[in-house]
Structure 1
Amino acid sequence: MSSSTARKTLRIVHVSSAHPWTDNRVHLREAVSLSEAGYHVGLIAVESEVSVPKTGVGVITIRRRRRLSRMVLSTTEVIIRAIRSGAKVVHLHDPELIPAIPLLRALGRRVVYDAHEDLPSQVLDKTYLPARARAAIASASKVLIALASTADGIVTATDTIAERFPARKTAVIKNYPRLRKEDVDSEPILERPLAAVYVGAMSVERGLEVVASALTETSFPQGWRLDVAGAFAPRDFEQHFAALAGDRVRIHGMVSPAAARDLLTHGRVGIVTFQATRAHVDALPTKMFEYMAAGVPVVASDFPLWRSILEHLDCATFVDETSPTALAEAIRAYADDPDLLARHSQNALKAAHSELNWTSQAERLVAFYGKLTDSL
Structure 2
Amino acid sequence: MNEGKRVVHLTTVHHPHDPRIYHKECKSLKKAGFDVYLIAKETEAGVDKESGIKHIPIKDYTSRWDRMTKGACILYKQAKKLRADVYHFHDPELLPVAWLLKNNRNHVIYDIHEDYITSMQQKEYLPKPVRKLVARAYKKMEQFFTKKMELILAEKYYKDIYPDGDCVLNYPMVNTAFLEHQREGQMEDKLIYTGNVTDVRGAFLHAKLPLIDEQITMHYIGKCSTAFADEIYRIAGDQSDRIHIKGVDQYIPKEEIEQAYLEHNWLAGVAIFPETEHYMKKELTKFFEYMNAGIPIICSNFPVWKDFIDQYQCGITVDPHNDQEIKDALDYVRNHPKAAKKMGENGKKAVQEKLNWGAEETKLINIYQHLLNK
Whether TM-score is above 0.5 comes out as yes
Contact residue 221 and residue 331 of structure 1 kept, 8 A: no
CA distance in 2, matches of 1:72, 1:110: 24
Alpha-carbon shift at residue 151 of structure 1 (Å): 3.6
CA distance in 1, matches of 2:47, 2:11: 17
Give the share of equivalent positions with the same residue, in percent.
27
Change (3 A) 1:79 1:52: closer
**Secondary structure of 1:359's partner?**
helix
Change (3 A) 1:52 1:83: closer
**Secondary structure of 1:271's partner?**
strand
For structure 1, which runs of at least 5 residues remain unmatched after alignment?
A: none
1:248 aligned partner, one-letter code: R
Change (3 A) 1:8 1:328: farther
**For residue 56 of structure 1, what is the aligned residue in structure 2?**
52
CA distance in 2, matches of 1:50, 1:344: 37
**For residue 361 of structure 2, what is the aligned residue in structure 1?**
362
CA distance in 2, matches of 1:52, 1:297: 32
**For residue 215 of structure 1, what is the aligned residue in structure 2?**
210
Pair 1:45-2:45 in alignment: no
1:1-376 pair list within 5 angstroms: 3=1, 7-48=2-43, 53-54=48-49, 55-65=51-61, 66-106=63-103, 108-167=105-164, 170-191=165-186, 193-217=188-212, 220=213, 222=215, 224-232=216-224, 234-245=225-236, 246-253=240-247, 254-265=251-262, 266=264, 267-375=266-374
For structure 2, which runs of at least 5 residues remain unmatched after alignment?
A: none
Contact residue 98 and residue 147 of structure 1 kept, 8 A: no
2:245 aligned partner, one-letter code: I
Contact residue 189 and residue 341 of structure 1 kept, 8 A: no
2:344 aligned partner, one-letter code: S
Alpha-carbon shift at residue 179 of structure 1 (Å): 0.7
2:228 aligned partner, one-letter code: F
Change (3 A) 1:130 1:369: same
Contact residue 187 and residue 334 of structure 2 kept, 8 A: no
CA distance in 1, matches of 2:45, 2:93: 24
Contact residue 17 and residue 45 of structure 1 kept, 8 A: yes
Alpha-carbon shift at residue 52 of structure 1 (Å): 6.2
TM, length-normalised to structure 2 = 0.91
**Secondary structure of 1:18's partner?**
coil
1:252 aligned partner, one-letter code: K
Describe the superposition over 1:216-273 as per-residue Cα deviations: whole angstroms up to 9, x where unpaired: 12xx262x422211112x5311111123331112222242201101112222310112
Change (3 A) 1:49 1:335: farther
TM, length-normalised to structure 1 = 0.91
CA distance in 2, matches of 1:339, 1:174: 31
Change (3 A) 1:46 1:323: farther
CA distance in 1, matches of 2:350, 2:167: 20
1:133 aligned partner, one-letter code: V
Contact residue 206 and residue 218 of structure 2 kept, 8 A: no
Change (3 A) 1:270 1:8: same
Q: State the aligned residue count.
A: 364
Alpha-carbon shift at residue 75 of structure 1 (Å): 1.3
Change (3 A) 1:283 1:334: same
Contact residue 99 and residue 146 of structure 2 kept, 8 A: no
CA distance in 2, matches of 1:299, 1:189: 20
Alpha-carbon shift at residue 189 of structure 1 (Å): 4.8
